[in-house]
Chains A and B, each alone.
Chain A
């Protein structure tokens, strides 16, 4: 039964009136319109610039920005696939010492803000750092010109840092995909004479491909909108270029035009991701995966497996967390002032609230699209999700203007009508910050829940409706219990991301308001790692618990449906 028929039947059974206002479609329309405002604001600025410097940008820096961005994305994609897929396969298909610990520990780097990891490795690997100092002591070198050492502040350095903090996306999704399939198909391949390696290459990997693609698409979006790491490493990407044109040169049109180039990148990514998921022709027909049988690794292979899993955790989590801890202890008197606890509280409350709101809105949109089966609605919802790939500073500006316009319109109306001024209602309040978080991370919620709902057969809805439940009741009584896992997944990811969010918070926040990220930033922006260690560590700590929860949740559910962007 299609949605249209369903509502027709609905109307007939109620028999009261022929035309009912459609709250789901109307609600979805209003929500997407509001959420799309920031991106639309940026587009408007790009196409109607006051001073057009596009020709200058195109002749000078833009090709370089595009090239550097592509190189960075290619490197990070390759790195995250290599690490994410290999570790996912090891922990699901093989047995070796520490496997159960690695299973969740591999997700830990997700809690680390990439720019903090960048600071840490610069501290360790630069000339004055301990590694080079040791080498100089051993070999008797004196200056940097006496020997060669890889430059951490480089494209290569950025690729390594971002790979190490972002590979968990690929790992999580691929692992879930392997978990789902590991029982039946892997064994079938083995009985047909495949070696473990051949079974992996010829069966497991192709079947997991859609999940891998979704993970890589997420990683690439994060790569594209990263500002902190690339700025610190002096890589001239589209994001840093846009930042300079827009906010340093104060040329809104030019900045917005670079933002449009970035949106084109994103749309390309989304299309590629959709295509990869559509082509998914393989299904495991068994409904209940049995406990997987793992290959027991021995000798050299055992050692290799441990190494492959341990190194990313070491680089992406243990070393940075260790250094931060030692700095935090040494400099706690500098970093721990009376503003710190309030900042921590603000961060946690705001991130939790944003997660709840984004999940509810994402659910509403996904369910409305499911109910009405309208292509228009679906495309609108996807457009609203573009905020995920827009750098935070741009998003913030895209929010400032519509909010300011709204506030001033209300104020103007009240002044002329009632002679009272309402001032700013939304601008400069935590509502603006919250809105930024929701716009930024709605994609995670919508995508995840759309996929989660896709897993619930429409017959369930129909059954509920025959019991005279309305769509809302059907959602609450039938769908919600089934997609609880998806909701939790989306909520946790959004929470962790909000804890780390900096640029939009910085620009939109109320007076005298700090989150952990802005608190850390006031030291970090001066490259004073020691002073910001405690705050950074708190962001990480607040992220760890949900991240570990996430592994559990995602181990239980079907992966590629569990989780996707738009």
Chain B
């Protein structure tokens, strides 16, 4: 009886939801990015080409899903919010190279894989926010200074094992090596005002609340807060710093895209990739999400332009990805998430 029921359910469900293989006008996306953020771009793409974009969004685990699905995986493209996941997928052998003139022209060499395994779509800067009232402008200009004992009890960050912080620490390891990175993180931990918690916005809010004077966060959160009535005062309490790392520049991460090894709709997938680096789509990214366009010829949003130009850290993105496991071990070994209490 049970089996018959299950079979019946499967029969009803299958045509409704059966994972679509190749078909004329579709492309299937696994996205680590929220669908609300990418949906406007996909809608624009569908409008222009008539190709339907199907999305599964999850914050984690999609790579496991692709591994399990193997050669029959319906996914054509994977969207990620940082470099580490892109490299995970390449390392798992789930990507296939793609090179087209449009892709290579729009995306600068440092923001794409040399073999074409992945392409950056947008850039996000990891910034320092400082209290307007309590920190003088120019008092902190580098990530290194976050470990300076003069900021004891003044710093707020989200959890140390969050992908954005891991990427920053990975870049630090890339410049200085593991031993110095460990020392640095110990210093930052000692300077924490409270146990790491909340998202990047919550750190800026903590500045407004007087809980801390310095916070770390991605640049577009500042833009999001400025666009939200309730959060405007949070943003208004902080100054923006584009810090340097090893004298070079601000740590940048990419949101990116890659073509899967078994992509059943390869042609449409490549079409979507090219669309996303087109001037039109880059403009949407820039103005809707306030991310820095990957194409240097496309202007950032007026708000971002008003923040001015700044030097960028030049460390290779794949090096950041390679150092991730080491970075997470350092976060664990200094007990970063326990907060300022020494144990």
Give A residues with C-beta under 8 Å from B.
Answer: 27, 31, 53, 56-57, 59-61, 64, 127-128, 142-146, 151, 153, 233-234, 236, 243-244, 247-252, 353, 356-357, 360-361, 364, 393, 396-397, 400-401, 403-405, 407-408, 411, 421, 423-431, 434, 506-513, 522-523, 525-527, 530
Query: How far, in angstroms, from A510 to B35 measured CA to CA in the complex?
Result: 14
Query: How far, in angstroms, from A142 to B133 measured CA to CA in the complex?
Result: 13
Question: A56-B329, A400-B64 are contacts. A428–B19 as well, Cβ < 8 Å?
Answer: yes
Assess whether A397 is in contact with B61, with CB atoms less than 8 Å apart.
yes
A-B contacts, 8 listed (Cβ < 8 Å): A59-B333, A61-B335, A234-B195, A393-B61, A427-B69, A429-B13, A430-B13, A431-B14
Q: What residues on A are CB-neighbors of B68 within 8 Å?
A: 400-401, 403-405, 427
Query: How far, in angstroms, from A353 to B8 measured CA to CA in the complex?
Result: 12
Question: A128-B208, A128-B209 are contacts. A396–B61 as well, Cβ < 8 Å?
Answer: yes
Least Cβ–Cβ distance between B250 and chain A, in angstroms: 23
Assess whether A60 is in contact with B69, with CB atoms less than 8 Å apart.
no
Assess whether A527 is in contact with B199, with CB atoms less than 8 Å apart.
yes
B338 in contact (CB, < 8 A)? yes
Q: What residues on A are CB-neighbors of B10 within 8 Å?
A: 426, 431
Q: What residues on B are CB-neighbors of A511 within 8 Å?
A: 19-20, 28, 54-56, 74
Partner-binding segment picked from B105-113, B159-167, B305-313: B159-167
B5 in contact (CB, < 8 A)? yes
Query: How far, in angstroms, from A146 to B211 measured CA to CA in the complex?
Result: 10
Q: What residues on B are CB-neighbors of A64 within 8 Å?
A: 335, 338
Listed residue (B5, B18, B206) with the most chain A CB atoms within 10 angstroms of its CB: B18
Least Cβ–Cβ distance between A454 and chain B, in angstroms: 21
Instruction: List 11 extra interface pairs beyond A60-B335, A423-B19, CB under 8 A.
Output: A143-B209, A144-B209, A144-B211, A234-B159, A248-B163, A248-B166, A249-B324, A423-B74, A424-B74, A506-B61, A511-B20
Q: What residues on B are CB-neighbors of A407 within 8 Å?
A: 69, 72
Assess whether A429 is in contact with B337, with CB atoms less than 8 Å apart.
no
Query: How far, in angstroms, from A332 to B6 measured CA to CA in the complex?
Result: 38
Contact of A525 among B16, B34, B162, B163 (CB under 8 A): B34
Contact of A408 among B71, B88, B162, B230 (CB under 8 A): B71
Question: A60-B335, A234-B196, A408-B72 are contacts. A507–B65 as well, Cβ < 8 Å?
Answer: yes
Dominant secondary structure of chain A at its interface with chain B = helix
Question: A512-B55, A525-B59 are contacts. A411–B17 as well, Cβ < 8 Å?
Answer: no
Q: What residues on B are CB-neighbors of A530 within 8 Å?
A: 230
Assess whether A56 is in contact with B332, with CB atoms less than 8 Å apart.
yes
Q: What residues on A are CB-neighbors of B100 within 8 Å?
A: none
Assess whether B166 is in contact with A430, with CB atoms less than 8 Å apart.
no
B201 in contact (CB, < 8 A)? yes
B36 in contact (CB, < 8 A)? yes
Residue in chain B with minimal CB distance to A353: B9
Assess whether A361 is in contact with B2, with CB atoms less than 8 Å apart.
yes
Least Cβ–Cβ distance between A370 and chain B, in angstroms: 16
Contacting residues of chain B (17-70) with chain A, CB-CB under 8 angstroms:
17-21, 28, 34-36, 54-65, 67-70
Least Cβ–Cβ distance between A55 and chain B, in angstroms: 11
Q: What residues on B are CB-neighbors of A234 within 8 Å?
A: 159, 195-198, 337
Contacting residues of chain B (281-339) with chain A, CB-CB under 8 angstroms:
324-325, 328-329, 332-333, 335, 337-338
Query: How far, in angstroms, from A153 to B9 measured CA to CA in the complex?
Result: 43
Give B residues with C-beta under 8 Å from A.
Answer: 1-2, 5-6, 9-10, 13-14, 16-21, 28, 34-36, 54-65, 67-74, 88, 159, 161-163, 166, 194-199, 201-202, 205-206, 208-211, 230, 234, 324-325, 328-329, 332-333, 335, 337-338
Residue in chain A with minimal CB distance to B163: A248
Residue in chain A with minimal CB distance to B160: A244
Listed residue (A31, A411, A426, A427) with the most chain B CB atoms within 10 angstroms of its CB: A427
Query: How far, in angstroms, from A407 to B67 measured CA to CA in the complex?
Result: 13
Question: A142-B210, A509-B56, A525-B34 are contacts. A428–B5 as well, Cβ < 8 Å?
Answer: no
Residue in chain B with minimal CB distance to A53: B329
Least Cβ–Cβ distance between B129 and chain A, in angstroms: 16
Least Cβ–Cβ distance between B253 and chain A, in angstroms: 15
Question: A243-B60, A396-B61 are contacts. A236–B28 as well, Cβ < 8 Å?
Answer: no
Assess whether B54 is in contact with A512, with CB atoms less than 8 Å apart.
yes
Assess whether B69 is in contact with A404, with CB atoms less than 8 Å apart.
yes
Residue in chain B with minimal CB distance to A523: B36
Least Cβ–Cβ distance between B165 and chain A, in angstroms: 11
Least Cβ–Cβ distance between A549 and chain B, in angstroms: 23
Least Cβ–Cβ distance between A312 and chain B, in angstroms: 26
Q: What residues on A are CB-neighbors of B329 within 8 Å?
A: 53, 56, 60
Assess whether A411 is in contact with B72, with CB atoms less than 8 Å apart.
yes
Assess whether A360 is in contact with B5, with CB atoms less than 8 Å apart.
yes
Assess whether A60 is in contact with B16, with CB atoms less than 8 Å apart.
no
Question: A424-B72, A431-B10 are contacts. A145–B58 as well, Cβ < 8 Å?
Answer: no
Assess whether A250 is in contact with B209, with CB atoms less than 8 Å apart.
no
Q: What residues on A are CB-neighbors of B208 within 8 Å?
A: 128
Contact of B211 among A127, A252, A429, A512 (CB under 8 A): A127
Residue in chain A with minimal CB distance to B234: A128
Q: What residues on A are CB-neighbors of B337 within 8 Å?
A: 234, 236
Query: How far, in angstroms, from A411 to B2 measured CA to CA in the complex?
Result: 25
Least Cβ–Cβ distance between B105 and chain A, in angstroms: 31
Least Cβ–Cβ distance between B12 and chain A, in angstroms: 9
Q: What residues on A are CB-neighbors of B71 within 8 Å?
A: 408
Q: What residues on A are CB-neighbors of B211 within 8 Å?
A: 127, 144-145
Question: A427-B19, A522-B35 are contacts. A247–B209 as well, Cβ < 8 Å?
Answer: no
Contact of B62 among A27, A507, A525 (CB under 8 A): A507
Assess whether B2 is in contact with A360, with CB atoms less than 8 Å apart.
yes
Question: A400-B65, A423-B19 are contacts. A233–B197 as well, Cβ < 8 Å?
Answer: yes
Query: How far, in angstroms, from A431 to B7 measured CA to CA in the complex?
Result: 10
Q: What residues on B are CB-neighbors of A145 within 8 Å?
A: 210-211
